[in-house]
Amino acid sequence: MTDSADPIATSNAQAYSVSELAFALKRTLEDAYGFVRLRGELSKVTHHASGHVYLTLKDEKAAIDGVVWKGGVRGLSVRPEQGLEVIVTGRITTFPAGSRYQIVIETMEAAGVGALLAQLERLKAKLAGEGLFAAERKQPLPTMPAVVGVITSPTGAVIRDILHRIRDRWPCRVIVWPVVVQGDAAAGQVAAAVRGFNAMTPGGPVPRPDILIVARGGGSVEDLWAFNDEALARTVAESTIPLISAVGHETDTTLIDFVSDRRAPTPTAAAEMATPVLSELKALTADYDRRLAMAGGRVIEDRRTRLTGAARGLPRPADLLALAGQRLDYAASHLTMGLRRNVDLQARRLDQVAAPLRPAVLARQREQLLARMDQLNLRLNAALPRRLDVLEDRLKSQDKLRQTLNPKRPPRPGFVLVTRADGGLATRGGDLAGGETVNLMFEDATRQAVVDGDAPPAPARPAKKKPATPPVAQGDLF
């Protein structure tokens, strides 16, 4: 056996690199402490922008660093906060870059009721500071809701109590959104139900509730802890539908009790807050109707008494009508004479107007008009032929011009009309392809030709002498 203190043996020992030693220690710790359960107080809690949570667990004699990876933060039953006493489970590992060991936390729960209540008080103070508990934020409850939304467990006694109480008090529709009301998933399901009810549109396939009830039976602080979730409290505070919190018994208090629009001591009391009593409303309406009839009768009687008293000071109707009757008689007596004078006056005016309208005067005017008509007829008969001759000459001139501009008329001597096989007119030589057959229309006949073809030369014809005639201006073919 070699003595370790021997300088020769020491010089022959294998030299580790820093990384090799660090990772060897990491594997050793992870193998030996693959699962540990620790209890301690949280300090130096840091929620990093990456989503990881870095913290320190300590007691009165020691401390150990800890980390909660981003994927495990949502699964924690409590939110890591400074000074909270918790019990965590995880595995021990090292951070080789810093030569320190730490615990990777997988679960975290409060160490006791006192710790939970302390965390609750800190959360209440935070939300109160943001104004979520303010009375001016709370919405009034509807007086006569047509639809009531209930968020609770569908199998417990709570929903039966609520339905029974609403059925006895007020005929309305109740929509139940089933959720779990205890455990890690409870807060998320209740928050999703609140958001789901608020997302409904009026007039949709499922009617939008006029009021919401979040209900659960009594239990311990741990049983009701899901209703102290910060995200759930903020969702309840943002609800546009009035919400009643009915979690636990009268002595139980949860965080959503402070942010809801009304807190009920029990689920049954919540049903009573949400709905009126139909029989009481009927009795109240009947009482109002009776009081309205009595008040109306008293008003009518009072008006009748006042009218009778006022009538005593008025004159008699016969006295009021006597003077007007006398004036009517006076006017009627003068009406006949006035009508007769008016008829005489109008008759004189009619004679004055009719005097110029004698038959002789009208006949003379008629003869004058007939004479003028005869003169106009003579002038028209004289001018119409000349106008027709002018128009006929213009029409002939336009027809000659039309014949001159007609491209399909027989060409004059010395001219030829070239058309293609499809009947189209060829106006330019560049439009014709070599070998294309064209029609040549002369004055006396039509012949066919091939463009650039090798046709046999035609026999020469003796030239004819044309009589000397003065040159004629060539017309435009088109």
Q: Which two tokens stand for residue 294?
A: 């009595």
| Strand, helix or coil for residue 118 | helix
The runs of H, that is alpha helices, within 355-426 are 359-405
412-461 residue pLDDT tens:
677 788 888 887 777 787 778 888 888 888 877 888 888 886 544 545 55
The angle at the Cα of 54, spanning 48 to 55, to the nearest 5 degrees, equals 140
- pLDDT grade, residue 115 (50/70/90)? low
pLDDT of residue 242: 96
Q: Which two tokens stand for residue 285?
A: 């309406």
Q: Identify the CA nearest to 76 among candidates 84, 85, 68.
A: 68
The angle at the Cα of 474, spanning 468 to 478, to the nearest 5 degrees, equals 155
High-pLDDT (> 90) share of the chain, %: 29
H/E run at residue 441: strand 437-441
Q: Identify the CA nearest to 244 among candidates 262, 232, 226, 228.
A: 262
Q: Which two tokens stand for residue 132?
A: 């979520």
Residue type, 85: E
For every residue of 238-297, DSSP letters joined together read H-SS-EEEEES-TT---HHHHHSSEE-SSHHHHHHHHS--HHHHHHHHHHHHHHHHHHHH
Please give the average per-residue pLDDT across 388-395, as a whole number.
89
Helices 267-274 and 157-169 cross at an angle (nearest 10°) of 30
For every residue of 164-178, DSSP letters joined together read HHHHHH---EEEEEE
pLDDT of residue 92: 87
Say what the alpha-carbon torsion angle 291, 295, 297, 300 is, to the nearest 10 degrees. Answer: -160
Pairing of strands 243-247, 262-263: parallel
Q: Which two tokens stand for residue 280?
A: 């009481």
43-57, 335-349, 408-422, 449-463: the lowest-pLDDT one: 449-463
Residue type, 140: P
More confidently predicted of 333 and 302? 302
Please give the average per-residue pLDDT across 348-374, as a whole number.
82
pLDDT of residue 199: 94
More confidently predicted of 91 and 212? 212
User: Would you say residue 320 has pLDDT above 80?
Assistant: no
Average pLDDT score over the chain = 83
User: Would you say residue 366 has pLDDT above 90?
Assistant: no
Q: How far apart are CA 305 and CA 326, in angstroms?
A: 34
319-328, 369-378, 461-470: the lowest-pLDDT one: 461-470
Residue type, 325: G
Q: How far apart are CA 232 and CA 87, in angstroms?
A: 24
203-257 residue pLDDT tens:
889 999 999 999 998 887 778 888 988 899 999 999 999 999 999 888 778 899 9
Tell the CATH topology of 145-276.
Rossmann fold (3.40.50)
Residue type, 319: D
pLDDT of residue 240: 95
pLDDT of residue 146: 94
C-beta of residue 235 within 8 angstroms of C-beta of residue 191: yes
Please give the average per-residue pLDDT across 401-408, as a whole number.
72
Please give the average per-residue pLDDT across 113-142, as a whole number.
84
- pLDDT grade, residue 165 (50/70/90)? very high
Domain 15-111 sits in CATH 2.40.50.140? yes
Domain ranges of the chain: 15-111, 145-276, 279-308, 359-402, 407-426+433-446
